[in-house]
Structure 1
Amino acid sequence: MPTLSISLGQWSDKGQKPSNQDFYGACLPDDTQRRQKGIAVALADGISSSAVSRDAAEAAVGGFLTDYYATPAPWSVKSSAQRVLQATNAWLYAQTRQSQYRYDMDRGYVCTLSAMVIKSATAHLFHVGDCRIYQLAGKTLEPLTEDHRFWASREVSHLSRAMGASQHLELDYRAVSLSEGDVFLLASDGVYEWLSPQVMVTLIQDHAADLEAGAKALVDAALANGSDDNLTAQLVRIETLPDREADELFESLGRLPSPAELRANSELDGLQIIRPLHASARSHVYLAHDPQADQHVVVKTLATELAEDPASVERFVREEWIARRLHNPHVLSAPVQRGPRRYLYTVWEYIEGQTLTQWMRDHPDPDLADVRDIIEQVAKGLRAFHRLEMLHQDVRPDNIMIDRHGMVRLIDFGATRIAGIAEATDSAGEVDPILGTAQYTAPEYFLGEGGTEQSDLYSLAVIAYQMLTGTLPYGTEVAKTRTRAAQRKLAYQSAVSENRALPAWVDAVLKKALHPNPDQRYPALSEFIFELRTPSPGTLKQSRPPLLERDPARFWQWLCALLGVVIVALLANMPQ
């Protein structure tokens, strides 16, 4: 099976300067890290006016190449790199503020940076300043970045953006689809300002067999043309790309055969099956005993008809991978695997309790306080997903367990979307299938759009509404709306009724969380949860009923008084 591999050549020279303030590097990790995080290449150029700019460049490149690989595996490349570079920028800015040059950034810890992360079949580019990243397309060298320079005159220019120059880092980002044989050049201004694109193309092609020699040839040629700056060039050629359809993270388990039908007292890799717990079109769940740990566990197997479907197998195996990365009391956990498995199955902690579906049957008219408590616990579990750039995408009462102590846990991660894996496996323009349950699925999914954190929030708000009313906010109409115009016509059914003593402001909170447009919902789960307990002044104002409903007697008194004033005014204006 093909894997990601590149050829790399790098060269740097101080040129006519007394020291080299450029700094460059690359990280080609092992296979596991390469699949999860990719290959990283970075170049930083210090500014000549600063004596500590070399330190800034080294910190920028070194910090990026180290800290990027320390970010969680589920994070996307874009999020991981941006967070790391924002942290590095803040550190550089703080170093200057604490130095004698705190009022003169031109002499502080400032540098430019261009970085590239190659993951799966995509190159992710991050850029600030005036280093450049090019792509060789035939006989043309296409610049993929824009210089951040302000030209005061034809001869005088200044950096308009740089690492460490400001407390806030404005970073350019671009994603480029890759093909085998693609060649990229990262170069400092000491190289590209002294060579024409045609000359650079010729030098790269003349040294195709030895990229390090090609990088050195670029530097030597710029020096020969009179370059008066530090010079650095990095050449990257894509040799092989991984198969987009195969996710090797799950290959070892995905190759295993499905076990035979499990019954009470049967055995599976040392686990003793006690009894079936649940069966659906997707999976079968059993209660089992683990003799080694002397505890009950849950064994989950894939439905027979799905065992030959690679996408279903991948989603099934991925569930346990997800659980091992979520350490939250409100998310179902997976015990440590104690030995090799001979069959395709997953193992989970056993929760002695009931689903929220059953709880709702047992509590058809729950107290608002109990509803708040359950919704808040589910939100805590969802926030654990969102912190790792994962969306649950199937939040519904059947996927929420409540144990005998009242602890609430999210279960079933078969529909979960992981940003870091999705970017490595998704094809351009391909729309994910809707994996959640229709009545709890956010409207945007039915438009073919990708989900966001507001999509999980919508599903949670549907559950809160259903717990309080026994019905759904839009009935069954959401799944039928496949255009924005149709969704704008959705009519929210108020949760306030004659049979339910519910504060009007709670209904206003639910209505906002359930808005068909995700941009009109709460921007964060924490805000939704907070307002369920403590409404904002704006929510109270929106939910305040009209005077006719609040105090009919006063309404009619004011109306009569107004009519009296109008009558007096009319009489006064009548001709005598």
Structure 2
Amino acid sequence: MTKQLLIQTGQATDAGRKKINQDYIGVNLPNDLLVNNKGIAIAIADGISSSQVSQVASQAAVNGFLEDYFCTSDAWSVKTSGIKVLSALNSWLFSQTQNSPHRFNKDKGYVCTFSALVLKSNTAHIFHCGDSRIYQLSGQQTKSPKLEQLTMDHRTIISSTESYLARALGVQQQLDFDYQSVQLNVGDYYILTTDGIYEFVSEQFIIEQIHKHHHDLDQAANSILKQAYANDSGDNLSIQIVKIIALPDLDLEEISQQILSLPIAPSLSPRMEFDGYLIQREIYISSRSHVYLAQDIESKKQYVIKTPSVELCKDTAYLESFLTEDWIAKRIDNAHVLKAPNSIRPKNFMYLACEYIEGKSLSQWMRDNPNPSIEKVRDIVNQVAKGLQAFHRQEMVHQDLRPNNIMIDQQGLVKIIDFGSTKVAGILETKNMKEDNRIQGTALFSAPEYFIGYGGDSRSDLFSLAVITYHLLSGKLPYDTKVSRCTNKKDLQKLQYQTLQHFDELGVAPWVDEAIKKGCHPEPLKRYQEVSEFIYDLHHPNKDFLRKTRPALIERNPVAFWQGVSAILLGVVVFLLAR
């Protein structure tokens, strides 16, 4: 039986010798699907004693994180989801203080420390700000076990009796959070605690109580809390203990389960009924997939049906990639990205159903329009860029952007299709796999970093978009076919961009050429870092490019040039006569 992530938890919190408990703790253990896609979250917060409202901050931070984290896209990585949620919470707490009587005294505002643990697949993700702590107790240490502190205290020490928090939620409008990830192992313990506990209980006592009460971690937590109180702790007391009981198999995920449960679709032909669809005609047949135009028998709407090739039915990696296309299409809602309908009936076979676009590929459009205007090119590239941005917002990299994977319908709407090569951060994380750095797309439009063994990112998609822009304007490629022959960094440095200014008949402004050149620079760090920057410079003359491409004075104003030369010569003559 395939294993899933399974944990045991125990926790305890108490006001201690204070009137109000300004600590707050929580755990969110969602259903099995969310555990696979998003993981399990544990959080602890400690309000500052100088504030009368910091308990509100602690509760809002913990509850907000435990709820909002699971509302983020499951295509996002844990790090991205966590940081975005915490940044929003920090801004909200800061605004609460600013709108209170304590806006000039942050020590009395909505401020708290925060530490969280997100367990997903085989990895623990740690978010931290302040002086709460997260420890790890290895289950593999049988002799002299020790607690390993995974977080760093954000506290500035002034003297042996005086210190203050250097970082906490709600202090500044913008705040840096510590993040790290560690490998999970069965039998490991993770302990989250506030300073009211760890400053008054020895690490050895904590270890002894965990081992003594390993079947009841709530009892272990309460024993540790009572010992801290007995040792004269004057602060609030909070502790959480998490034990890793079982870990999922490395290849476990929803997609893999579908592979095991769905049979390969049979060979289809026109007028054949298939899973609620009427097959109308073949669209495209290849060694990797078969694509058909079909009509939903109930709704009468037309769809495209894509089935995997029978020859690859035993290739698990291919089938995972095939099913990921449907997963992606249902998570990106953008007018410029191919849509997949939400199925109203269960599938009986492995196939993809997506919207039918009545139009032509960009490749065909280029053959029909060999000399497009710069404005038409801008319009097409703008629409593709909007689709790409939808991918990048979900931490997805398309990796195979090319004219054949771009469609234009009869109204001129441009859509990105074919997600078989798309890299999804959330899926890579769930599978706990190393990134596949092999070339996923077509060589002519792929970024050079793929060819030298580096993984691609959003800038790689930008490279492809800039090459497509160049191709639309000239019908050629900026580096010909030399990119595909790169094998190391030195090869990248040898690539020479073929300026569009060599093609006089195109009439492309030099600053437009410079924008395209920067967009498809061989080195990712020297490209635009965002698609939006490229699009802006494609429409607006960049001042740096204007200075760089401005013609010499003799070309712009010959009269002024020769007047200047004459004035200089006259000055020289006067100087010589005066001597």
TM-score (norm 2): 0.95
CA–CA distance in 1 between the matches of 2:411 and 2:149? 61
Given the alignment of the two structures, is residue 204 of structure 1 paired with residue 210 of structure 2, yes or no? yes
Code of the aligned partner of 1:215: A
Flag the 1:425–1:550 CA change in 2: closer, same or farther, 3 A.
farther
Q: Please show how residues 124-203 of structure 1 align to structure 2 within 5 Å.
A: 124-137=125-138, 138=141, 139-203=145-209
Quote the RMSD (CA, aligned, Å).
Answer: 1.9
Flag the 1:466–1:559 CA change in 2: closer, same or farther, 3 A.
farther
CA–CA distance in 1 between the matches of 2:529 and 2:540? 17
Report the equivalent of 1:123. 124
Q: 2:474 aligns with which of 469, 473, 481?
A: 469
Q: What do the CA deviations read for 1:299-336 (whole angstroms, capped 9, x no partner)?
A: 10112222211111111111111111111111111123
- Work out whether residues 125 and 173 of structure 1, in 8 Å CA contact, stay in contact via their aligned partners in 2: yes
How far 1:368 sits from its partner (Å)? 0.5
CA–CA distance in 2 between the matches of 1:276 and 1:558? 71
CA–CA distance in 2 between the matches of 1:502 and 1:570? 48
How far 1:114 sits from its partner (Å)? 0.4
How far 1:237 sits from its partner (Å)? 0.8
How far 1:564 sits from its partner (Å)? 7.4
Q: 1:503 aligns with which of 506, 509, 515?
A: 509
Report the equivalent of 1:436. 441
How far 1:173 sits from its partner (Å)? 0.4
Counterpart of 1:12 in 2: which secondary structure?
Answer: strand
Counterpart of 2:293 in 1: which secondary structure?
Answer: strand
Counterpart of 1:510 in 2: which secondary structure?
Answer: helix
Report the equivalent of 1:31. 32
How far 1:131 sits from its partner (Å)? 0.3
Report the equivalent of 1:16. 17
Report the equivalent of 2:290. 284
Give the stretch that moved more between structures: 536-545 or 552-561: 552-561
Given the alignment of the two structures, is residue 485 of structure 1 paired with residue 490 of structure 2, yes or no? yes
Q: What do the CA deviations read for 1:449-483 (whole angstroms, capped 9, x no partner)?
A: 22222111111111000001111111111122222
CA–CA distance in 2 between the matches of 1:475 and 1:562? 47
Give the stretch that moved more between structures: 549-558 or 257-266: 549-558
How far 1:281 sits from its partner (Å)? 3.4
CA–CA distance in 2 between the matches of 1:555 and 1:357? 47
Give the stretch that moved more between structures: 547-556 or 223-232: 547-556
Counterpart of 2:61 in 1: which secondary structure?
Answer: helix
Given the alignment of the two structures, is residue 388 of structure 1 paired with residue 389 of structure 2, yes or no? no
Code of the aligned partner of 2:473: L
- Work out whether residues 203 and 218 of structure 1, in 8 Å CA contact, stay in contact via their aligned partners in 2: yes
Given the alignment of the two structures, is residue 88 of structure 1 paired with residue 89 of structure 2, yes or no? yes
Flag the 1:563–1:415 CA change in 2: closer, same or farther, 3 A.
farther
Structure 1: segments with no counterpart, 5+ residues:
none
How far 1:31 sits from its partner (Å)? 0.5
- Work out whether residues 127 and 171 of structure 1, in 8 Å CA contact, stay in contact via their aligned partners in 2: yes
Report the equivalent of 2:239. 233
Report the equivalent of 1:76. 77
Flag the 1:212–1:326 CA change in 2: closer, same or farther, 3 A.
same
- Work out whether residues 508 and 542 of structure 1, in 8 Å CA contact, stay in contact via their aligned partners in 2: no
How far 1:510 sits from its partner (Å)? 0.4
Q: Please show how residues 49-60 of structure 1 align to structure 2 within 5 Å.
A: 49-60=50-61
- Work out whether residues 257 and 343 of structure 1, in 8 Å CA contact, stay in contact via their aligned partners in 2: yes
- Work out whether residues 437 and 456 of structure 2, in 8 Å CA contact, stay in contact via their aligned partners in 1: no
Counterpart of 1:180 in 2: which secondary structure?
Answer: coil
- Work out whether residues 361 and 405 of structure 2, in 8 Å CA contact, stay in contact via their aligned partners in 1: yes
- Work out whether residues 254 and 313 of structure 1, in 8 Å CA contact, stay in contact via their aligned partners in 2: no
- Work out whether residues 26 and 43 of structure 2, in 8 Å CA contact, stay in contact via their aligned partners in 1: yes
Given the alignment of the two structures, is residue 269 of structure 1 paired with residue 257 of structure 2, yes or no? no
Runs of 4+ in 1 over 6 A off after TM superposition: 563-573
Code of the aligned partner of 1:32: L
Report the equivalent of 1:7. 8
CA–CA distance in 2 between the matches of 1:535 and 1:75? 35
Give the stretch that moved more between structures: 277-286 or 392-401: 277-286
CA–CA distance in 2 between the matches of 1:239 and 1:454? 40
Q: Please show how residues 341-380 of structure 1 align to structure 2 within 5 Å.
A: 341-380=347-386
Report the equivalent of 1:447. 452
Code of the aligned partner of 2:516: L
- Work out whether residues 431 and 449 of structure 1, in 8 Å CA contact, stay in contact via their aligned partners in 2: no
Counterpart of 1:288 in 2: which secondary structure?
Answer: strand
Q: 1:218 aligns with which of 214, 220, 224?
A: 224
- Work out whether residues 399 and 446 of structure 2, in 8 Å CA contact, stay in contact via their aligned partners in 1: yes
Code of the aligned partner of 1:474: Y
Code of the aligned partner of 2:168: A
Report the equivalent of 1:525. 531
Given the alignment of the two structures, is residue 304 of structure 1 paired with residue 305 of structure 2, yes or no? no
Counterpart of 1:438 in 2: which secondary structure?
Answer: coil
- Work out whether residues 250 and 318 of structure 1, in 8 Å CA contact, stay in contact via their aligned partners in 2: no
Flag the 1:179–1:567 CA change in 2: closer, same or farther, 3 A.
farther
CA–CA distance in 2 between the matches of 1:261 and 1:571? 98
Flag the 1:396–1:549 CA change in 2: closer, same or farther, 3 A.
farther
Q: What do the CA deviations read for 1:259-293 (whole angstroms, capped 9, x no partner)?
A: 22222222211312121111233211111121211
Given the alignment of the two structures, is residue 537 of structure 1 paired with residue 538 of structure 2, yes or no? no
CA–CA distance in 1 between the matches of 2:100 and 2:276? 63
- Work out whether residues 462 and 519 of structure 2, in 8 Å CA contact, stay in contact via their aligned partners in 1: yes
How far 1:32 sits from its partner (Å)? 0.8
Code of the aligned partner of 2:176: E
Give the stretch that moved more between structures: 403-412 or 256-265: 256-265
Code of the aligned partner of 1:216: N
TM-score (norm 1): 0.95
Flag the 1:305–1:123 CA change in 2: closer, same or farther, 3 A.
same
- Aligned residues with identical type, % of pairs: 49
Q: 1:460 aligns with which of 450, 462, 465?
A: 465
- Work out whether residues 113 and 169 of structure 2, in 8 Å CA contact, stay in contact via their aligned partners in 1: yes
CA–CA distance in 2 between the matches of 1:111 and 1:512? 45
How far 1:425 sits from its partner (Å)? 1.5
Give the stretch that moved more between structures: 448-457 or 291-300: 448-457
How far 1:341 sits from its partner (Å)? 2.0
Code of the aligned partner of 2:72: T
How far 1:527 sits from its partner (Å)? 1.7
How far 1:367 sits from its partner (Å)? 0.5
Q: What do the CA deviations read for 1:319-361 (whole angstroms, capped 9, x no partner)?
A: 1111111111111111231322222111111111100000011
How far 1:559 sits from its partner (Å)? 5.9
Code of the aligned partner of 2:129: V
Q: What do the CA deviations read for 1:374-413 (whole angstroms, capped 9, x no partner)?
A: 0001111111111222111111000000011111111001
Counterpart of 1:451 in 2: which secondary structure?
Answer: coil
How far 1:242 sits from its partner (Å)? 1.1
CA–CA distance in 1 between the matches of 2:184 and 2:554? 65
Code of the aligned partner of 1:472: L
Report the equivalent of 2:342. 336
**Equivalent residues, number:** 572
CA–CA distance in 1 between the matches of 2:557 and 2:291? 57
Given the alignment of the two structures, is residue 402 of structure 1 paired with residue 403 of structure 2, yes or no? no
Counterpart of 2:506 in 1: which secondary structure?
Answer: coil
CA–CA distance in 2 between the matches of 1:485 and 1:549? 37
- Work out whether residues 129 and 147 of structure 1, in 8 Å CA contact, stay in contact via their aligned partners in 2: yes
CA–CA distance in 2 between the matches of 1:68 and 1:512? 37
CA–CA distance in 2 between the matches of 1:24 and 1:214? 16
- Work out whether residues 509 and 532 of structure 1, in 8 Å CA contact, stay in contact via their aligned partners in 2: yes
Code of the aligned partner of 2:25: Y
CA–CA distance in 2 between the matches of 1:233 and 1:524? 43
Counterpart of 1:42 in 2: which secondary structure?
Answer: strand
Give the stretch that moved more between structures: 386-395 or 39-48: 386-395
Flag the 1:241–1:552 CA change in 2: closer, same or farther, 3 A.
farther
Report the equivalent of 1:416. 422
